[in-house]
Amino acid sequence: MSTPNPTEAAQAQQPVFALQRCYLKDLSLEQPNSPQILLEQAQPTVDVQMNVESQSLADGVLEVCVTATVTARIDQRTLFLVEGKQAGIFEMRNVPQEHVDLLLGIACPQTVYPYLRANVADVITRAGFPPVHLAEINFQAMYEAQRAQQQVEGQGAAAGHTLN
């Protein structure tokens, strides 16, 4: 039986974080009031909703998906609604658990978000509208705000539990 080389053993334990694939998971466009609404000259209001989710695909392989929903309205009528989901498959091995959460909440979304921005702007332009450029997102601030909210809800739940 051969003895493992100490250098090889050390390399096998090195943390690995790598993007394996980035892809457009879903993209939809709706123009429920076209073509009539296209003749209006009013400036639409634009609402953007964002979401980040992740799931394990295999041991050390995870998918992170960033979703943007863009709705443009004139008065109460929808001009267009675009929903795009950009995903990435990431390999994470030998990464401490506290770092996995940070990678999933910050680094992974930052990696796939520029592709989502481009795809959303492109589909809106191809639909005949001026492009909507999604703003840059500080995923670290978003992650920290979600953690703070979870802590507040956790404390509220704990307080509610002790009162019952």
With respect to residue 145, please indicate whether it lies within any of the assigned structural domains: no
What gap in Å lies between CA 92 and CA 41, rounded to an integer? 50
With respect to residue 98, please indicate whether it lies within any of the assigned structural domains: yes
Q: Which domain holds residue 23?
A: 15-136
Residue 7's pLDDT is 61
With respect to residue 147, please indicate whether it lies within any of the assigned structural domains: no
DSSP for 35-78, please give it: TGGGG--SPPEEEEEEEEEEEEEETTEEEEEEEEEEEEEETTEE
With respect to residue 162, please indicate whether it lies within any of the assigned structural domains: no
Residue 46's pLDDT is 95
pTM: 0.81
DSSP for 70-120, please give it: EEEEETTEEEEEEEEEEEEEEEEES--HHHHHHIIIIIHHHHHHHHHHHHH
The 8-class DSSP code of residue 129 comes to S
CATH code of 23's domain: 3.10.420.10
With respect to residue 1, please indicate whether it lies within any of the assigned structural domains: no
pLDDT by position in tens, the chain (length 164): 555 565 665 667 899 999 999 999 999 999 999 898 888 888 999 999 999 999 999 999 999 999 999 999 999 999 999 999 999 999 999 999 889 989 999 999 999 999 999 999 999 999 999 888 999 999 999 888 888 888 888 776 554 443 33
What gap in Å lies between CA 144 and CA 72, rounded to an integer? 29
With respect to residue 96, please indicate whether it lies within any of the assigned structural domains: yes
Q: How many domains does the chain have?
A: 1
Peptide bond into 4 cis (omega under 30): no
With respect to residue 154, please indicate whether it lies within any of the assigned structural domains: no
With respect to residue 85, please indicate whether it lies within any of the assigned structural domains: yes
